[in-house]
Structure 1
Amino acid sequence: MTSNPIKTPGPTPQAEEEIPLPPPENEVNLANLAIPLGETILTLNLEGGPVYGILQRSRAMTAQSDYFRLQFRGYARAVGAHWQLLEGDDSRFHAVYNHAWVRLDRPSQTVTFGPKSGVQCSQALQGSGLDTYLFGNVIAWAKGVCPDYAIAPGLITMGQTTSEEERMQKHAFYAGQAFQFEWQDQTQRSALYFKDKVSKLLGVWNKEAIREFGGEEMLKMLAGQDEARAALQQKLEQLESAHDSLKRALQKEKSTSQILTGVLIVAAIVAIWAVI
């Protein structure tokens, strides 16, 4: 009778250690790597007159990240028939004002929206809806690229002198894009905005307040202006011709009147002589 060999248990396999994910890349470094993709002319409708400026799109791609940014610089405000050139923060691509960005982190499959302190407009562009336009566009871009990515929560802070109306506007700004918004303290000086997935955001803005001009539309507008200018030039030439004709007629009438006056004077003198 043969006995079965006794099997001794082998070493149990050790659990595989999870490899930690790399930290997200710094958005400042990504901004320095960003390459312009193109520019568009924007018109912002404000009470003092429309403002015209340049919107620039730029993007940076690395093995870990995809970074997309929108920046706006104002050019001039139209006041009646005159243009007032903008200056300072309103007229240049800025690292604080009039821009928005989004960073995709592939290892963690998360998205971060910025600026982290919130989109801010420079003084002359406040109330134009530019902040909603910029934020809505980077959201729309992210929805098209990574709709299933999670969203890293954002924290914003408010100043001590912030009014109740300003706090309500800040709440409405994020809620208008379908973010959840929660104040983090009783004084409502800091708040968290968050959402679980990019696809659940809206990415909307007021298309009546801000208008984009593409290349073809600009050419059509320039062609229309040239046609209107040619029509005005033709009308001006017709008016000048009519003015010259009227001027000649008046000069002829003046000459005729002078001749008649001379004749009348001569006749009067002859009559006086005849009486004498």
Structure 2
Amino acid sequence: MSSRSLKTPPKIDKTASEPEAIPLPSPEDESHLAGRSTPQAEQLIALLDNGVPIYLFSRISSGHTFQSDFFRIQFVTFARAEGSQWLPLRGEASEWMNTRNCLQVAVDHPSHTVSFGPKSGFSLSPEISGLGLSGYAYSQAISWLKQRYPDYRVLPSVLPAPEADGEEARAHRNSRLAAHGFDFEWDDGSQVHGRYHKARVRQLISGWDNEKVAEVSLNALLTTLSRHDEERAELQHKLHSLQSQERSLETSLHKEKQTNLLLTGITCFVLIFSLLGALGFY
């Protein structure tokens, strides 16, 4: 039996450092992503302010890059309905703005995270604040996220400024976000300033108070316009009928007046001749 030299396995240098993990790219700037987004849909919405309807439009925009996805919902007011009159609203609430009256979400795929914006916090103009529109905006964003990225992590975002001053407004803001499933981290004990976040998108909750905020469907709008057209046509027909009756009545009255004048003239003529005859003038 011949002896063969056994090959010894190479020694592993345990002191050799493992290759460093490649750092993730920084998340893309939200302003850059907003510039890459395009409008996708608009929706007519009705709010109730002490029983008075306010009509506005919501616009959903989205964008996509190799690294990110972007979602934004914006609001612009149209008018208040005061009785039978429409009062167009003016000011910032009636314009499409980049940092007011809009909520946006930036999705970073390398880190599997999402963040709510704008960075300054979601805020509404006074004309449309406190009317349930915040809950509607977050519901739209959350629904969009849950359909696409349920396992992504929600990074801490700056809490939006309360829609009014005082402790009650802050408590309402916090309870509204808590109803959507967000967790909080606070910068102060009074829970004024802080951030909201969530471990996973799928844990968030969508939904809004549809007694305060109602989507007006295109079919309903067309049905309403059609009904108004029919009512207007019916009123127009009645008006024309009344005008025709009025003209007929005026014609009859005019004829009757002419007839009465003629009869009065004849009667006077007969009386005069009768009187002259009685007096022996002829």
Moved more, 22-31 or 43-52: 43-52
Counterpart selection for 2:13 from 11, 19, 35 = 11
Taking the aligned partners of 2:209 and 2:260, their CA distance within structure 1 comes to 68
Unaligned segments of structure 1, at least 5 residues:
none
Alignment partner, residue 78 of structure 1: 81
- Letter of the aligned partner of 1:9 in structure 2? K
The CA deviation at 1:128 is: 2.9
Instruction: Find out whether 1:150 has 2:153 as its counterpart.
Output: yes
Unaligned segments of structure 2, at least 5 residues:
none
Instruction: Find out whether 1:194 has 2:183 as its counterpart.
Output: no
Moved more, 17-26 or 149-158: 149-158
Alpha carbons 1:104, 1:111 under 8 Å: kept:
yes
Q: 1:265 to 1:121 in 2, by over 3 A?
A: farther
Alignment partner, residue 46 of structure 1: 49
Alignment partner, residue 252 of structure 2: 249
Q: 1:165 to 1:272 in 2, by over 3 A?
A: farther
| Residue aligned with 1:152, SS | strand
Name the larger-Rg structure: 2
Q: Once superposed, what is the RMSD of the aligned Cα atoms?
A: 2.9
Q: TM-score, normalised by structure 1?
A: 0.85
The CA deviation at 1:66 is: 0.4
Instruction: Find out whether 1:97 has 2:90 as its counterpart.
Output: no
The CA deviation at 1:48 is: 7.4
Counterpart selection for 2:227 from 204, 224, 227 = 224
Alpha carbons 1:48, 1:79 under 8 Å: kept:
no
Instruction: Find out whether 1:87 has 2:90 as its counterpart.
Output: yes
Q: Deviations over 1:106-162 (max 9, x none)?
A: 111111112344322212222332222222111111111111211112232758x93
Alpha carbons 2:122, 2:160 under 8 Å: kept:
no
- Letter of the aligned partner of 1:67 in structure 2? F
Moved more, 189-198 or 56-65: 189-198
- Letter of the aligned partner of 2:123 in structure 1? Q
Alpha carbons 1:46, 1:127 under 8 Å: kept:
no
Q: 1:153 to 1:241 in 2, by over 3 A?
A: same
Alpha carbons 2:121, 2:159 under 8 Å: kept:
yes
Q: Deviations over 1:200-239 (max 9, x none)?
A: 2122122233333455544444433333332222222112
Alignment partner, residue 55 of structure 1: 58
Alpha carbons 1:71, 1:98 under 8 Å: kept:
yes
Q: 1:19 to 1:28 in 2, by over 3 A?
A: same
Instruction: Find out whether 1:30 has 2:33 as its counterpart.
Output: yes
Q: TM-score, normalised by structure 2?
A: 0.83
Taking the aligned partners of 2:114 and 2:220, their CA distance within structure 1 comes to 34
Q: Deviations over 1:145-202 (max 9, x none)?
A: 111211112232758x931111111112212212234543123331332222111212
Alignment partner, residue 134 of structure 1: 137
| Correspondence 1:100-119 to 2 at 5 A | 100-119=103-122
Q: 1:256 to 1:64 in 2, by over 3 A?
A: same
